Every structure is written in C-alpha cells, then in structure tokens.
Structure 1
Amino acid sequence: MQRIQEMIKVEMTYSSANCANELEIIWLDLQRRSNCHYFLTWDWFGAWLQQVKQPFYLLKATINNQVMALAVIFEKERKVLGLRSTTQWWLNRTGEEALDQSWIEYNDFLIDKKYEYELRHALMLFLSKQDKWSEFIAGMLSNKAEETLDVLSNNKRNIIEDFGYQVNLQDINTSYKSEVLSRNTRQKINQTQRLLSQKGYLSFRVVTLPKEKLQTLNSVRAFHINKWKNTPTPSGFENPTFVSCFKAQLLNKHSEIAELTLNDKPIAYLINYLYKDRVYFYLSAFSNEFEGKVKLGMYLHSLAIEHYRERNLKYYDFLAGKSRYKQSLSNSEYAHNMCGYYKSSLVFSIESTLRIIKGRLDH
C-alpha cells in the first residue's frame, strides 16, 4: 500500500464546460475501470455537466500518468449568519438549486477499482490540505462515500438524512408479489388492476427506442407538471436546464420508459435507467383522472419489477426518498445522505449551535 500511495499524484485544475470533449475521453476510459453507479457515467453526468455551463475545478489523481480518479468541484460563496462570506466546494454539484434539479444520487469520486482504497486516501489527504474551502458539501452519498469524506473534518452536519429503497431481485424465487409484498400491498395492487380493467383494456410496455421515447415526452411532461404545480417543488419540466439534461439522458441507451395504457391511451409512465445489473427508477408521471383506490404508481411499479426480473436484472432501485410506497414495494433499504464538512471557526460554531437549538424547538 505504501508503495502505491507514493506513486499517486493528485492535482486540481480550473476548467469549464468548453473542455467537455477532452474530459469525456478520459472520463469514459476511467468509467470502464470503475465500479461507479449510473449517475457517475458520462451518459448521465456528462449530459448534466454540458448543460450547466459553469466553470469548475477538475480534481484528478494519476499513477504513472494514467488517470485513476476524477471529480468535478464547483465553488460557491455564501453568507454565514448573514455576516461573514465563506467559500463552499460542492462535489459534482453546483450548489444552485435550478442547475442541480437533475438530482445526482450515489454521488462519489470516479475511481479505478484496482486501487480504490489508496486513491480515496490520497484524494482526502489532498482536499484536507486545501485552504480555499471553508465548507465541503457532498450528496447524495452511499455509506462508503460518506465514510470516505468523514476524514475531511471533525465538523460535520447532515444537510439531508434519508434512506433509499430497493428490491433485491435475486432474492425472489418465483413471484415478486407473494414473496416481497405484504397482504395489504397486494390487495391495493390487485384492486387497482380490477378497477382499471372495468374501464377497458390495460396494456403495459417498455419503450427503448430513442424515437419512441421522444414521442412519449409530451405526455410525460404534461402529467408531471400537472402533479407538481402549486407545490413548493414545481416540476423540473418547467426548468430549461432540467429539460435539456433530461432529453440528453433520455436518449441514451441506458434509459427506458415503462408505459401503462388504458384503451390505448397513456395513463402512467416510469422513467428508468439501466446500468450493469441495476434498474434505477428516476421519475414518474401519472394521469390525474384516477384517485382514491386506484394506485397507478404501485401497480405500474409491480409490472416493471416483474418485467426486469424476467430480464435477469439484480436490483430495482427506488433511490432516495422515504415515500411510503417505496417502503411497501421494497425488500431492502440503505442510508443516503447529503453532508456538509466545515473547518473550525467561531462563526461556524455559533451557526451549528443555533441549528441544534432550532431543531429541538421544531421537534
């Protein structure tokens, strides 16, 4: 290990989206040598990076001039307690809500799997020595990524504490419904199928061709906007940056759309990403003409899960979010957090104390 660590060279250079073509080449090469999740592939992350059009720091680790680790770091200024300006570094995010609405999950460094432990150690050592940042923000993080970043600072706050839910399809022998779902959940799904069937003919399909995926986009957009209008979190389809990213991500080979129709009329969609042995559920859009006992989401997810199990995928991942339906449809969970690390200072100590007091009062 000592020998490898001595060979690792870590550097950070100022860059921009104009260099995306050059970055794509080395990113794709490293991606093939990594164990990354889909959100760190160039198909997803590259599409987002080319749309945000903001300068960034490119963090890079090499061994014998071969790139072994990469990350993109955006810099942002904020006022602490409305008084002191402080510098934040964001891992693979800008820190701007509108630009980050294409939400990254399983955020991490892109790392060659051969020397993953040594490379993580070298990256943390390098970042901890940088004096420009006062806060380092990263999320959403798996346990492994969070444990890596915990060495950055003894001062940490959990910005978002969440769980992700998934179905381990390998644990199912014959039937997803009978082996994973509770009696109550099965009843809701069967009731939905019965109520919809009384209205006509139901059809399920998975759309994989780029042209067909584009053709469904208007319906997906309309359903999604209607669901989230007049809420604190409006639909991403009203955000030009999100739409541009989503279109690029939708058209690559890893995206699929599960569609449910009633009498040949679309009533529900799921946007899924497939990478290696995992299905990532990213976005849903439903018609608003069904309410009450009709659980479109539960029913469509159950169909999609059975479909992907038959295709020998290993996991159906609902990603982060403590929604009740995700818990009801899953057989495993994992922690998924956004964390902030900050350097010791009086103003941060005061802010941290005030957060604790506010949290207790809210509770």
Structure 2
Amino acid sequence: MDRQKNNMQCEVFFNPDRVWLAQVWQALEQQACANFFLSWRWIGCWLDCFVGNFYLIEARQGNQIVGLGIIVEARHKAGLGLKKRYYLHRTGETRFDQIWIEYNDFLMLKGQESQIRQRMLSTVMRKLVKKEVLVIGACESDTFPATVIPNLARQCIWETKTYTLDLERLKARHRRLDQAISRSARYQIRRSMRQYAALGKLAVSTATTPEAIKALLEEAHPLHVKRWGSQPGQSGFVNPYFMRFHHLMCVRNHDVLAVSKITAGEHTVAIMYNFHWHGQVYFYLSALNYDVPITHAKPGLVAHYLLINQALADGASRYDFMGGATRYKRTFANMESGLAVYAFQQPSLALHVENTIRDFKHRLQVSEE
C-alpha cells in the first residue's frame, strides 16, 4: 500500500467483486459531490455493458473509503507492435466510448478532493501505468492540472468548451429567461414559436416509463441520423453498443432520465434527452426536425427555451449544456469552462521528441492559415 503521513492509503485491485463495488461506490457517493457521470447510475451501466477485466484504485483514511476509480487497460497499435494504454472510466474502444463520459474524475470524499486525487493519480501511475500512458477525460480543464504531480508529463489530446446556465443566478437577480438572453435570440425564438403555434399547440411531453423512453428514442433515431450521419463515429443511434447502453439506462434509471418530445400540433419539433440529477439538468443529446413546414424553424433554440423554463419552474439549480462550442449553447449560458482529454505518462526522450514534432506541425499549420 501507498501509506502517507496523514494515514491515507491507496491500493490497486484487479477485478474486485462487482456486488461489493456497487455497494461501496454508492456509499461513497453519499459523501461525495459527484456529478451524474460519476454516479453508479452511469458507472454501473457502463461497467456491465462494456467492461470485462478492470482495475480498481481505492483510497482509504483509516477504515473509511475516501476515493474510488475504475481503470481499464487497452492495447493499441504502435509501430510494429502493440502498446498499452489505461483509461479512467472509459475502455479505449471507440464503439464503446461513444456514450462519452464528461466531467470525468475519481469519486472522492467531499472537501478533500485535491489531496485525494493527487494521491490516487500518483499510485495509479507508479503501481499500474508505470512507463505506459493513462488517459483521463473528458474532464474539466482544471481538474487535472499540469502540476498535479511533479515531473509527470501531461498532453492534451482533445479539448472544447462546456457551457452552463446557472439558474440560481437568474433567480437571485429576479430575471426571467427572456431577460437573460440577447434581443436577437429573443426575437428568433418568439418568431419561431409563433410559427410553430400556427400549426397547433406547442407542447412538451416527457416519457416516464422505460417503455415510453425507448419509444421516444426509436422516434429520435431517424432525425438524429439525418443530422449527424450513418457512418461509424457519427450518430450513436447506428452504433448497437451505444443503443445497448441506453436501453439498459432506460430499464435501471428511468427515474433520472428526461426524454421529452416537443410538438406543434401533430408535428414533431424535437426530441430531447436529458439527465436530471440532484437539482441539475444535463443536456445529453437532441434529435431535431428541420422539415416542419414553417419558414423560420429553430427547433433547438425553441426546445431548450421550453425545457429551461420548465427547469426553472421545477426548482432546478443548473441547466448544463456540457461540451461543444455551438452557438445555441452560448445563447443561453452564463458560465463556460474548458473540457479536455489528457494523456499522462512519465517523461522520456522519445516523448520529448514526439511533442517537439507535434508542436512544430501545429505552428506550421497555423502559419499556413
């Protein structure tokens, strides 16, 4: 074990009992400030759908578990051979990871996250990863800073912005959503809503049973594929592993899934898939219909406008658009931060050369633009 002066101990286990893991994970959840993606609702479904062998990193103070994380080993082609990579709460397989975890981190006791995270990462790197690579993400950019462990190399391999609407800020200022967005956005939304309403009543209905949720996801399928494409890596609806995961989510977690259908009379405007967790709304995906017979269709703006107002009425504290720098997210959000995927490894001459070449190529591309 990795024993520290404050009696914190970290240990790595291979394939611990899953029933025990579910119990201790959910027990720690009650003492952590865990986002939805670190809850057993998400982690348990991911583990059962995609993970065979895995490692558990556990941190303890005395007899109390204060940190947990699941590491999966994958092998990737590198030159003429295979190279190991380790992933936190991911598998390293694109077809499985398309479900896309955000705000990734270790699950940790509230109030001691920085100290526990550093100890857990240090133990994983020293005892498990060693000279290989550990991939963590997508996480908030400041969760695992470059200085989290001295002399550990951190490379950003993907990044974007994440956007959130802090509803408590609106309430504190006694502002309606209409008052918090720009005049242009307000005009576009109202114009589009008037045109939708001319086709029939504009309404929101949310599925409340596993069967109803699955039915709405089936209805969303062609709309999502039309927008994002039917090739591997495009719409998740054509990925059977993606669908398997969400069908299991429907069965186990329908009480925290909010799959809503926005209609104008008999016309489908949008189908929205959100998670509701501890007073927060997490926007996961949308299937938008641009074929409704009106001249100024804004299905995404209108759908989010209606659902944000519903969240306000329900007393939610946040409406989180999550990752992706798209205009409609900026329209509503009053907070933004970075989201990234990082690769950690021990520094080496080969890594230094690789990073130098990568930086040179990046500067060359920038100069050509």
The one-letter amino acid of 1:126's match is T
Q: Does 2:273 match 1:276?
A: no
Pairing 1:297–2:303 present: no
Query: Where does structure 1 lack aligned partners over 5 or more consecutive residues?
Result: none
TM-score (normalised: structure 1): 0.91
Partner of 2:261: 259
CA contact (8 A) 1:124 1:152 kept: no
Out of 121, 125, 137, the position equivalent to 2:122 is: 125
Alignment correspondent of 1:104: 101
TM-score, scaled to structure 2: 0.89
Task: Note if contact 1:164-1:321 (Cα within 8 Å) is conserved in structure 2.
Answer: yes
1:47-89 C-alpha deviation (Å, 9 max, x unpaired): 1111003311111112333322110111123345x35754322
Give the aligned CA root-mean-square deviation in angstroms: 2.3
Q: What secondary structure is seen at the aligned counterpart in 1 of 2:94?
A: coil
Change (3 A) 1:357 1:4: closer
How far residue 230 of structure 1 moved from its aligned partner, in angstroms, is: 5.0
Write the deviation string for residues 204-248 of structure 1: whole angstroms up to 9, x where unpaired.
233333332233221022221222225674211111211111122
Instruction: Provide the aligned length of Structure 1 versus Structure 2.
Output: 358
User: How much has 1:196 moved relative to structure 2?
Assistant: 1.4
CA distance in 2, matches of 1:264, 1:132: 59
**Are 2:11 and 2:57, in contact at CA under 8 Å, matched by a contact in 1?**
yes
1:218 aligns with 2:218: yes
Contact 2:220/2:271, CA 8 A, preserved across alignment:
yes
Asked whether the 8 Å contact 2:146–2:153 carries over to 1, the reply is: no
Opposite residue 78 of structure 1, the aligned amino acid is: H
Change (3 A) 1:175 1:99: same
* 1:4 shift after superposition: 7.8
1:164 aligns with 2:162: yes
Secondary structure of 1:105's match? coil
Percent identity (aligned) = 28
Does structure 2 retain, via aligned residues, the 8 Å contact 1:160–1:339?
yes
Letter of the structure 2 residue corresponding to residue 212 of structure 1: A
Q: Which residue of 1 aligns with 2:62?
A: 64
Code of the residue aligned with 2:93 in structure 1: it is: E
Answer yes or no: is 1:205 the counterpart of 2:205.
Answer: yes
Specify the code of the residue in structure 2 equivalent to 1:205.
Answer: S
Which residue matches 1:11?
Answer: 11
Report the counterpart of residue 95 of structure 1 in structure 2: 92
Aligned to 1:172, what secondary structure does the other structure show?
helix
Q: What is the CA–CA distance in structure 2 between the aligned matches of 1:13 and 1:232, rounded to whole Å?
A: 34
Which of 144-153 and 332-341 deviates more?
Answer: 144-153
Match of 2:335 in 1: 332
Conservation of the 8 A alpha-carbon contact between 2:279 and 2:316: yes
Paired residue for 1:147? 145
The SS at the match of 2:97 is coil
User: How many angstroms does 1:183 deviate by?
Assistant: 0.9
Give the ranges of 4+ consecutive aligned residues of structure 1 lying more than 4 Å apart after TM superposition. Answer: none
Output the CA distance in 2 between the equivalents of 1:103 and 1:149: 26
Matches within 5 A, 1:40-51: 40-51=38-49
Work out whether residues 88 and 133 of structure 1, in 8 Å CA contact, stay in contact via their aligned partners in 2.
no
Return 5+ residue gaps in structure 2 as ranges: none
Structure 2 match to 1:236: 236
**C-alpha spacing 1:343/1:84, structure 2 compared with 1 (3 Å):** farther
Residue 307 of structure 1 is matched in structure 2 by 310
More moved, 271-280 vs 175-184? 175-184
CA contact (8 A) 1:139 1:338 kept: yes
For 1:7 and 1:274, locate their aligned partners in 2 and report how far apart those are by CA, in whole Å: 37
- 2:186 matched to which residue of 1? 186
Q: Tell me how far apart the structure 2 counterparts of residues 20 and 190 of structure 1 sit (CA, whole Å).
A: 51
